[in-house]
């Protein structure tokens, strides 16, 4: 009764309603927060497991050359190494020396031009001598401090491995891409045989998920580096006497992504949307299609399109010559392909070849290209097929 007086009946119901609403929201909120927590915990566990598996793979496959602790040895450079992660212990000095070297290169360029006057040449000589002296002045104390590392191949003027080889992507993509493709030219300047390709798709022994575990393990070495970490490195990367083939190879690897390469999969609509941002290179598409000069897709697969598609005449698949004209004039007139764009048809023909069979042919085309092509590979193939009028 007393209660009834303080909370008249109707308000009582409102209060109960409000209270239960608040309770439900609190419970939902708690569940949502907890769900996020569980998700993060799951991801953390998953990541930790990946690192653990990577560690085991590293011990059995990599430590003979890279050292059991990743610190390098006679047959391979350190990966547990501030230089691989681009860590610079003297950033201001490196920056100033970098600027001086740029100035020097510009001056030397100017000096080599035929219209540079003798007076200007003399000025340039003086300035270049000044620059050299200043670089020496900046670098000498640093060299003295780092001598122990320099003895093992460290160059304090070039503290970033990725920058030295011209890699524009992340450390992670550098590691994974190196693992997939290897570094075939490296046996020219490493006595242990160099870095081979590890991916099964490139003829190596390891699966893609194992390469990702190894990458997670190596990335796990990233930390707040100390100078002791630098001194602990037993072997730094070797710069070949003639770096041209290495640079060419790095460029090639770079072209295969620069980011962690991913297979396009089989969602045609998604793929067509992604293609809008990618420019295809018909020459590379031609090489991929025919396997010219050992051309391979991003994960090292030899595609072998031309084994089934002859330039002229029918083999297992339709002839290559005239493909694009046939797409425009024949395929897209088929009511089954009524709403297709030419691009969409070509993408589907490659990643889901059995969705539509070209009349007169059987479903004999390999159906797993979605796993072995990156978006760039596919764009290149399409650009090539579009030249087949
Ligand atoms: C036979 C010796 C050998 C084995 C085994 C080997 N590597 Fe290498 N690896 C090398 C050499 C040599 C280089 C340097 C290549 C160069 O100079 O371009 C290298 C380079 C690398 C790089 C790039 C580092 C850089 O600074 O350019 C990574 C990452 C790497 N290896 C990881 C691995 C992993 C992971 C394994 C095990 C699956 C492995 N390597 C097995 C010899 C080896
Ligand atoms: C094992 C043989 C085989 C290989 C390898 C193969 N194809 Fe095919 N391809 C076929 C067959 C058979 C057809 C016709 C049946 C169909 O539509 O799937 C076909 C159809 C096509 C078509 C449709 C042609 C048209 O006239 O409409 C395209 C485009 C195509 N393939 C591209 C490729 C590309 C690109 C590659 C390499 C990445 C490739 N194919 C590799 C067998 C093959």
- What is the residue whose two structure tokens read 């493909």? 323
Residue 375: is it exposed, middle or buried by C-beta count within 10 angstroms (0-12/13-18/19+)? buried
Q: Answer for the pair 343, 239: CB distance below 8 angstroms, yes or no.
A: no
Q: How far is the CA of 200 from the centre of ligand 2 (A)?
A: 24
Q: How far is the CA of 290 from the centre of ligand 1 (A)?
A: 30
Find out whether the beta carbon of 349 lies less than 6 Å from any atom of ligand 2. yes
Give the per-residue pLDDT at 248: 84
CA dist., res. 350 & res. 292, Å (int)? 19
CA dist., res. 251 & res. 155, Å (int)? 22
Give the per-residue pLDDT at 181: 85
Give the per-residue pLDDT at 36: 66
260-270 residues labelled b (16+ CB within 10 A) or e (exposed): ebebbebebee
Residue 294: Cβ within 10 Å count: 7
- What is the residue whose two structure tokens read 């089954």? 336
Find out whether the beta carbon of 316 lies less than 6 Å from any atom of ligand 2. yes
Give the per-residue pLDDT at 4: 43
Give the per-residue pLDDT at 291: 93
User: How many CA atoms does the CB half-sphere of 7 hold within 13 Å?
Assistant: 9
Two structure tokens written together for 215: 């990458």
Which atom of ligand 1 lies nearest, measured to the CA of 217? 35
Give the per-residue pLDDT at 19: 67
- What is the residue whose two structure tokens read 């005449």? 313
Candidate from 53, 77, 195, 213 with most ligand 1 atoms within 8 A of CB, to mutate: 195
Residues with Cβ within 8 Å of residue 14, at least 6 apart in sequence: none
Q: How far is the CA of 72 from the centre of ligand 1 (A)?
A: 9
CA dist., res. 377 & res. 347, Å (int)? 12
* Mean pLDDT, contiguous 10-residue spans, the chain (389 residues): 47 66 65 67 84 97 96 97 97 96 96 95 97 97 95 94 91 92 89 90 84 96 96 95 87 67 87 94 96 82 93 95 97 95 98 96 94 93 97
Find out whether the beta carbon of 364 lies less than 6 Å from any atom of ligand 2. yes
Give the per-residue pLDDT at 43: 77
CA-based nearest residue to 291, from 253, 205, 177, 300: 300
Give the per-residue pLDDT at 3: 45
- What is the residue whose two structure tokens read 């004039």? 329
Residue 301: Cβ within 10 Å count: 20
CA dist., res. 100 & res. 93, Å (int)? 11
Q: Answer for the pair 309, 317: CB distance below 8 angstroms, yes or no.
A: yes
Q: Answer for the pair 213, 57: CB distance below 8 angstroms, yes or no.
A: yes
């Amino acid at each position: 009764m007393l209660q009834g007086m303080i909370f008249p009946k109707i308000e009582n119901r409102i209060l109960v309603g409000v209270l239960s609403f608040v309770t439900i929201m609190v419970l939902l909120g708690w569940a949502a927060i907890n769900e996020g927590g569980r998700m993060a915990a799951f991801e953390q566990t998953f990541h930790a497991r990946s690192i653990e598996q990577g560690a085991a793979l590293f011990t059995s496959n990599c430590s003979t050359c890279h050292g059991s602790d990743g610190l390098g040895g006679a047959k391979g450079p350190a990966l547990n190494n501030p230089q691989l992660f681009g860590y610079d212990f003297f950033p201001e000095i490196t920056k100033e020396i970098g600027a001086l070297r740029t100035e020097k290169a510009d001056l030397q360029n100017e000096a080599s031009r035929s219209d540079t006057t003798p007076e200007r040449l003399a000025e340039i000589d003086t300035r270049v001598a000044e620059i050299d002296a200043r670089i020496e002045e900046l670098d000498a104390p640093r060299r003295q401090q780092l001598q122990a590392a320099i003895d093992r191949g460290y160059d304090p003027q070039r503290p970033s491995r990725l920058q030295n080889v011209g890699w524009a992507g992340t450390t992670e993509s550098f590691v994974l891409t190196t693992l997939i493709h290897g570094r075939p030219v490296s046996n020219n300047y490493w006595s242990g045989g160099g870095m081979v390709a590890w991916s099964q798709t490139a003829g190596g022994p390891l699966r893609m998920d194992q390469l990702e575990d190894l990458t997670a393990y190596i990335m796990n070495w990233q930390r707040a580096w100390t100078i002791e970490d630098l001194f602990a490195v037993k072997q730094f990367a070797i710069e070949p006497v003639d770096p041209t083939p290495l640079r060419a190879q790095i460029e090639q690897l770079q072209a295969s992504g620069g980011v962690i390469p991913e297979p396009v999969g089989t969602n045609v609509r998604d793929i067509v949307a992604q293609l809008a941002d990618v420019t295809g290179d018909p020459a590379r598409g031609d090489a991929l299609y025919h396997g010219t000069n050992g051309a391979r897709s991003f994960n090292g697969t030899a595609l072998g399109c031309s084994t089934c598609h002859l330039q002229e005449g029918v083999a297992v698949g339709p002839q290559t010559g005239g493909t694009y004209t046939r797409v425009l004039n024949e395929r897209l007139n088929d009511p089954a392909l009524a709403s297709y764009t030419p691009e969409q048809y070509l993408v589907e023909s490659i990643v889901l070849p059995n969705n539509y069979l070209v009349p007169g042919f059987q479903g004999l085309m390999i159906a797993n290209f979605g796993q072995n092509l990156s978006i760039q590979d596919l764009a290149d193939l399409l650009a090539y097929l579009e030249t087949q009028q």
